[in-house]
């Protein structure tokens, strides 16, 4: 016989509440800031990367254990940087005053590419590959390997705490007193962040800066390239929209390379159907800074390099 006092099933809570950690707070702040400030214009385009995939495979087999490993991801980052040289407005920071309508574009010479990485604990970090446009393909591959090495030595909580603190001081110096509204709740209020123990900070400070990601590295980016396809390997992934991180003007998403039929026109003008490797790319730009015409040079150059990737080894 059922005894309600003894046999009542244990109740499981209907909800679980967890506060944003510092990584989620930084992501929320930066993406919301970018979404509010930048009128996003987004377009999707497919590139035939059949020759590029073959080229990368050949480079891997030819290199053996000597030198950095050439990857499709690193080759695509280099191709994006070369494409941006033909559309310099994509490698810029924007300043704009809505009240007056006055704005200016600060075009950067160095192409510093922010690349999302998965940390050992599963959280995401977006460090920066510096001056990709001036590096050879092999130097980009080596820099990417070094960035991953430094990320493994990085304490994400300490890094983001220091980066947020520097950003707060910078905004105060620029007269943005609204930033004070986030100081109390994050440092002292009921929902304050966990303090990193002093001993843990001291141990982390002993790691040389060249062996870990620094706050300066996080803020150096001039554009974002997110290789979503490499993070979800084995799945057919496309991206419709990606947040632009202010004050940058461009965010690019690389989806999964897929095999699909394409109509190819031969030198004789005849058309034939072939199975090719295709990369869907999503390009998001700040519409205040540019229109489609500003991106055309980038598209043409990327298409050229995907078809003739050996040019990547001819340029220092």
pLDDT value of position 8: 57
pLDDT tier, 65 (very low <50, low <70, confident <90, very high otherwise): low
> What average pLDDT does the structure give for the chain?
90
Dihedral sign computed on CA atoms, order 243, 245, 246, 252: negative
Give the lowest-confidence range in 82-86, 101-105, 193-197.
193-197
Place of tokens 């690193």: 74
Give the per-residue pLDDT at 314. 75
* pLDDT for the residue numbered 185: 84
Residue 316 pLDDT class (50, 70, 90 cuts): very low
Q: Is the pLDDT of residue 39 over 70?
A: yes
Report CA torsion sign: 251, 241, 226, 167: positive
- Structural domain includes residue 20: no
Q: Which residue has the tokens 């010479």?
A: 109
In DSSP terms, 261 is beta-bridged to 275
Which tokens in the block code for residue 87?
């559309």
Q: Is the dihedral of CA 184, 185, 191, 196 positive or negative?
A: negative
Query: What burial class does residue 183 get, using C-beta atoms within 10 Å of its C-beta: 0-12 exposed, 13-18 middle, 19+ buried?
Result: middle
- Asked whether residue 181 is domain-assigned, the answer is no
pTM: 0.89
| pLDDT for position 100 | 94
Short-list 294, 305, 144, CA closest to 225: 144
Q: Parallel, antiparallel, or unpaired for β 271-286 and 258-265?
A: antiparallel
> What is the per-residue pLDDT for 2?
54
Q: What percent of the chain has pLDDT over 90?
A: 68
Burial 204-235 (b: 16+ CB within 10 A, else e): beeeeeeebbbbebbebbbbbbbbbbbeeeee
pLDDT given at position 310: 94
Extract the tokens encoding 37: 């400030």
Residue 186 domain flag: no
Is a pLDDT exceeding 60 seen at residue 127?
Answer: yes
Each residue's pLDDT tens digit, 170-216: 888 888 888 888 888 888 888 888 888 999 999 999 999 999 999 99
pLDDT grade for 218, boundaries at 50, 70 and 90: very high
Residue 71, in any domain of the structure? yes
Q: Which range has highest mean pLDDT (14-18, 168-172, 273-277)?
A: 273-277
Total tally of structural domains belonging to the chain: 1
Strands 113-114 and 223-227: parallel
Top-confidence residue, 34 or 7: 34
CATH code assigned at 129: 3.30.559.10
Question: Within a domain: residue 147?
Answer: yes
Candidates 265, 225, 228, 231; CA nearest to 248 is 225
Q: Does residue 72 lie in a domain region?
A: yes
Residue 182: predicted pLDDT: 83
pLDDT of residue 168: 84
Beta bridge partners of 283: 43, 252
Provide the pLDDT confidence category of residue 265 given band limits of 50, 70 and 90.
confident
pLDDT at 307 over 50: yes
Residues in contact with 309: Cβ distance below 8 Å, sequence separation at least 6, in sequence order: 51, 52, 55, 56, 75, 79
| Cα dihedral 156, 161, 164, 169 sign | negative
| Sequential DSSP letters for 193-215 | PPPPPHHHHHHHHTS-GGGS--H
Span between the terminal Cα atoms of the chain, in Å? 83
Using alpha carbons, list the distances in angstroms from residue 107 to 97, 137, 260.
18, 23, 37
Helix (H) or strand (E) holding 263: strand 258-265
CA distances from 49 to 45, 298, 315 (A): 12, 16, 19
Q: Predicted confidence band at 1 (pLDDT cuts at 50, 70, 90)?
A: low
> In this structure, what are the phi and psi dihedrals at residue 224, rounded to the nearest 5 degrees?
-115, 135
Task: Indicate whether 161 belongs to any domain.
Answer: no
Averaged pLDDT for residues 266-285: 91
Paired tokens of 61? 């087999």
| 3-state secondary structure at position 33 | helix
- For residue 93, what are the β-bridge partners? 106, 248
- Percent of the chain exceeding pLDDT 70 equals 95
Does residue 176 lie in a domain region?
no
For residue 100, the Cα-to-chain-centroid distance in whole angstroms is 32
53-63 tens-digit pLDDT: 999 999 988 76
Parent domain of 74: 39-151+215-313
Give the residue from 263, 144, 168 showing the smallest Cα distance to 219: 168
């Amino acid at each position: 016989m059922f005894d309600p006092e003894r046999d009542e099933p244990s109740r499981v809570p209907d909800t679980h509440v967890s506060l944003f950690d510092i990584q989620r707070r930084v992501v929320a702040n930066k993406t919301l800031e970018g979404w509010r400030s930048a009128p996003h214009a987004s377009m999707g385009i497919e590139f035939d990367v059949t020759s590029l995939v073959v080229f990368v495979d050949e480079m891997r087999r030819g290199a053996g254990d000597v030198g950095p490993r050439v990857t499709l991801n690193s080759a695509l980052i280099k191709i994006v940087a070369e494409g941006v040289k033909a559309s310099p407005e994509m490698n810029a920071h924007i300043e704009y005053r809505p009240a007056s309508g006055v704005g200016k574009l600060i075009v950067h010479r160095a192409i510093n590419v922010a690349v999302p990485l998965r940390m050992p604990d599963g959280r995401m970090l977006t460090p920066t590959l510096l001056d990709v446009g001036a590096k050879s393909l092999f130097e980009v591959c080596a820099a990417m390997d070094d960035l991953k090495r430094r990320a493994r030595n990085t304490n994400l909580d300490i890094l983001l705490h220091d980066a947020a603190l520097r950003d707060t001081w910078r905004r105060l110096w620029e007269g943005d007193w609204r930033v004070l509204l986030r100081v109390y709740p994050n440092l002292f209020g009921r929902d304050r962040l966990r303090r990193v123990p002093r001993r843990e900070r001291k141990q982390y400070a002993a790691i040389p800066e060249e062996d870990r990601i620094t706050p300066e590295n996080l803020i150096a980016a001039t554009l974002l390239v997110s290789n979503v396809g490499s993070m979800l390997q084995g799945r057919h992934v496309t991206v419709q929209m990606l947040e632009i991180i202010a004050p940058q003007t461009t965010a690019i998403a690389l989806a999964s390379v897929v095999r699909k039929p394409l109509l190819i026109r031969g030198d004789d003008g005849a058309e034939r159907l072939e199975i090719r490797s295709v990369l869907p790319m999503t390009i998001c730009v700040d519409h205040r800074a540019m229109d489609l015409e500003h991106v055309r040079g980038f598209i043409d150059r990327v298409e050229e390099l995907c078809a003739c990737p050996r040019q990547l080894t001819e340029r220092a």
